[in-house]
Chains A and B, each alone.
Chain A
Amino acid sequence: MKILVLQLARFGDIYATWPVLRALKRKYPKAKLHFLVRRHFAEACQGLDAVDRVWAFDTEAILAPVLEESVSIEESLKKLTGYLEILQNEKYDQVINLSFSPASSYLTHMISGPETEIHGYTRFDDGTLRLPDEYSSFFYAQVGIGRPNRVHVVDLMAGVAGCELQPGDWSLPNNVVEIDTPRPFIVIHIGASQERKSYPARMWAKVIERTREWWDGDIVLVGSASEVEKSNAITAECGLTRVIPLVGQTRLPQLFGILLRARVFIGCDSGPLHMASLTKTPVLNLSFASVNFWETGPKSAGSRILWAQSPVILEPEWVSEEAQRMIERQPGRNTRAEVVSPVDFFASLFLDDHEDFEWDLIKALYFGFDMPPLRTHVAQNAILRLSEINNLAIEQIKRIAIDPKGQTPYEILNRADEMFHTVSQLVPDLAPLARWVLTEKARVGPGPLGEVAAGTLAVHEAFQSQLNKFQIDSKEIQL
C-alpha cells in the first residue's frame, strides 16, 4: 500500500502534522508513507522517521515564469505538469490532504486516480470543492479565527487521516543536536509567523528585565534570521546580562536541542511552538485575537495560554509572573487556559470555565452532546424562523421530483440558503448552525437531478432534526 500525505502550509503546520504521520505509520506499518510539503519548508521534515519519502513541491520554481515580465502561463503550466506527472505515476492507494486550502484541494484531485481513497479537501469532476469526510466538513464549517471552535487542528488532521493519536506520537526527531549547558534556561521566541501575532521588542525587553528579578538561570532568545534586528532592539534595551541571543544562529536540529533542555518556552503562534510540543516542553503561549489558540496552540502538557485582544495590552509583568508560576508549579493567575494532555480529543482540551453557547452548539451538532438552551427570545424566534424556511425548502425539493423543469423551487432553495446566512448574521450565536447546514448542502455535489435533490432533501431533513432539538417556549414568542 502506498499513501501520500499533503501538508502544503508552513513550518509550524508541518511539525503539527508529525504526530499524525506517526499514528498513520502505526495504523499501516507495512505501507509506504510519502509526505508532500513545499520545498521552502522541507527542512521541517528532517529527522522525521515515520515517512519513507519526502516530496518537495517547488512552488517558487512553478511560479517563476508567471512572475516574469511576459507572464508566461504556458511555462508555469509545463513545470506544474512535470510535478504532477511524477506524483500521478506513483499511483497512490490513499491520498490524505491535511492542508485545508484551495490549491491543495486541486492538487489532491489531480494526483488521485479513480481507485484512490481520498481524505481531506479535494474537488468534484466539475471543479467544485469536495469535502469527502466528516472532519473536513467540520474544518470547513467551523474552524478559523474568530470562530468558537475548540477542537485542535492536530486532532482534526488525525480525524481526516482516520487515525488515533497516542502521547508517544509527540516525540523528537532523530537528528536532535543536544546541547550541554551548566545553567538552566528559559527560551523566548521573539517572533511569530506574522507580525500581527508578534509581541513587541520593547515589551520582550521588559519581560526579560522582570524575569531576571526571580530567575537565576539564563534567558535564551531564538528566532529566524529575519528577526535579528528585533533581537538587537531587545538586548539594546535590557542588556545582555544572563541573556543568550541566538536569533538567526540556530538550525532546526539545534533548536530542538535547545527546546529539549528549556524549563519553559515563551512565545507566540509560531513554528517553534509546535516544535516545543514535540519536545514536550511546557509552553507559555502569548495569544491574541488574531489567532485561535484552541486550534493552533501548544500541545505539551502543562502549557498555558495568556490571552489579550492585542499584543500591546498584554502586560510584560503578567508574562514574567506566569512563567515564574509555571516553573514553581503554582496554579495560573492570569491564564486563559491550560493544556491537560495532548490526546483524547475532548479530554485534551484546555481547562476553561468560560460559558460559551456557540461552542456548546458545535458540540451538540457534531459530537452528540445535548443542545444548549437558547439564551434569548431573539434566538428562540430565529430558530422558529429557520424551521419555517427549512420546511418550505423541504416542500420545494419534493416539488422538484414532480416538476423538474419548474424554476420556482430552485429560486426558493437559493433564497432559503440566503436566509440561513442572514439569520446567522442577525443572531451570531446561531452562526455555527447556519454554517453546518450550508456546508452539508455543499457536500452533496454535482450529479443527476434526482440524486442532487435526494441528497439535498436529506440535508434539510437532518437540519430539521437539529432544529427540533431546541426547546422553545412558544407561549413567550411573539409570532
Chain B
Amino acid sequence: MKKDLTPHLKRALLKLDQWTAQIRKTSPLSADGEKALLLRELVKEQLPDEDTRPAARQVR
C-alpha cells in the first residue's frame, strides 16, 4: 500500500509558510523568493483537501 504522506506534507507546508511569510511582503519578488513560493504550492497541491485555485486578489 502507498505510504500516506499527509503528515509529512502538512509539516513541510507549515515550515514553508513560516519560510515564505516575509517573502510575501517584498515587492518585486526575488528569484529565490519566487522559487520558495513555487515549492510551497507544489507541497500544497499534494494535499488532498487543499483548494489549489489561485487567488488573484490575495498577494501571493
**A-to-B contact residues, CB < 8 Å:** 59, 62-63, 66-67, 71, 73, 76-77, 80-81, 84, 100-103, 105-107, 109-110, 121, 123, 125-129, 131, 140, 144, 417, 438-439, 442-443, 446
Contact = CB atoms under 8 A, between A and B. Distances in A.
A49 B4 CA distance: 37
Interface of A is mostly: helix
A110 to B, nearest CB: 6
A66 B43 contact: yes
Nearest to B54: A102
Contacts of B60: 127-128
Interface residues of B, number: 35
A129 B38 contact: no
A105 B54 contact: yes
A442 B55 CA distance: 10
Nearest to B27: A126
A127 B55 CA distance: 11
26 contacts: A63-B39, A66-B12, A66-B43, A67-B8, A71-B15, A73-B19, A80-B39, A84-B35, A101-B41, A101-B52, A102-B45, A102-B53, A103-B38, A103-B52, A106-B37, A110-B34, A110-B38, A126-B27, A127-B37, A127-B59, A127-B60, A129-B54, A438-B57, A439-B56, A443-B56, A446-B27
Given A101-B45, A103-B41, A127 B53 contact: no
A446 B39 CA distance: 23
A62 to B, nearest CB: 7
Given A66-B39, A66-B43, A127-B27, A101 B9 contact: no
Contacts of A127: 24, 27-29, 33-34, 37, 59-60
A102 B41 contact: yes
A103 B38 CA distance: 5
Contacts of B41: 101-103, 106
Contact of A62 (B5, B24, B33, B42): B42
Interface in B5-37: 5, 8-9, 11-12, 15-16, 19, 24, 27-29, 31-37
B54 A126 contact: no
Given A63-B43, A66-B16, A103-B38, 6 more contacts: A59-B42, A59-B46, A100-B54, A102-B41, A102-B52, A439-B56
A73 B57 contact: no
